[in-house]
Structure 1
Amino acid sequence: MQKVLLPFDGSPSARRALDYLVTLQRRLGDLQVEVLNVQSEPKLYGNYVSASMLQQLNAGALDHARELTDKAAAVLAEAGITHACHQVVGDVSAEISKAISRLDCDSVVMGTRGMGGLGNLVMGSVATRVVHDVPVPVLLVK
């Protein structure tokens, strides 16, 4: 069984990657999809943030992540694809890399936002970082 990591943020490009996996399952069969949503750590300004406030911010982010992964899980369940959902807070590309190792994934299928050259140059691209940083094949879906 092929184990695929699907970074899923609910965007149209992530949805296209999800749809691609459903199509791939129909052709190849026997996929297990690990759906991952990474929420960025909260940006904090000021001198002091209590531990309980930080915990509440992270809990809210994880609740939002769960809502997003539940949407992907519904599509995968309807297609009869074995799956599991994971939510974390951290740097997106770093957490994708950690998830590949932790979940023993064979490949990554992810959408691209299509910002273009200038956007990628200024902001960087999660997809570009993932392609260069992970030890498994990465399929980018436009």
Structure 2
Amino acid sequence: MKILLAVDGSDYTKRMISYLGAHRDLWVTGHAFTVLHIVLPVPHRAAAFAGPDIVHAYYEDDARVVLEPVRAQLAEQGIAAEVVHKVGHPADEIASYAEKGKFDLLVMGSHGVGALKNLVMGSVATKVLAKCTVPVLLVR
């Protein structure tokens, strides 16, 4: 099974990885994992002012800050994964990547790092559920 793990570095990302490790018999053996992190785009005017080198460095740094701890936690759980980051709006990019990559399952935390929280689910999780045709497992 091809499994996509959408991560943002939040506590819910940590819970999701812990869940996978705690249920190794169901999730880890025989599956191919890809970790996806979406970096929010720099506004057009700011990007034009800063220049492409600074913007690119920002994207790489943002991804590194999120993905290094995720890699470490996955390693602790014995989960090998390909790691990818993209620039864009999280819900759109996650749903698109899951479908284009022909993943069998998308796993993500129910909430992210956003300042505004919905009562039941985060706004990105809600939008991904609405847009994505790939089955989604939300970990709370």
Shorter-normalised TM-score: what interval?
0.7 to 0.9
Please tell me whether Structure 1 or Structure 2 has the larger radius of gyration of its CA atoms. Answer: 1
Structure 2: state its 5+ residue gaps: none
User: How far apart are the structure 2 equivalents of 1:40 and 1:125?
Assistant: 15
The 2-side partners of 1:70 and 1:31 are apart by: 22
Q: Does 1:5 align with 2:1?
A: no
| Deviation larger for 89-98 or 27-36 | 27-36
How do 1:23-42 and structure 2 match up within 5 A? 23-28=22-27, 29-42=29-42
Amino acid in the other structure paired with 1:30: G
* Cα distance in structure 2, aligned partners of 1:102 and 1:73: 24
Percent identity, please.
Answer: 31
Q: Report the aligned-residue RMSD.
A: 2.6
Question: Where in structure 1 are there 5+ consecutive unaligned residues?
Answer: none
AA aligned opposite 1:66: R
Aligned residues: 135
Check whether the contact 1:31–1:81 (CA below 8 A) recurs between aligned residues.
no
How many Å separate the matches in 1 of 2:93 and 2:26?
Answer: 29
| 1:1-142 aligned within 5 A | 2-28=1-27, 29-45=29-45, 49-50=48-49, 53-113=51-111, 115-117=117-119, 125-142=123-140
- Give the TM-score taking structure 2 as reference length: 0.81
Give the TM-score taking structure 1 as reference length: 0.80
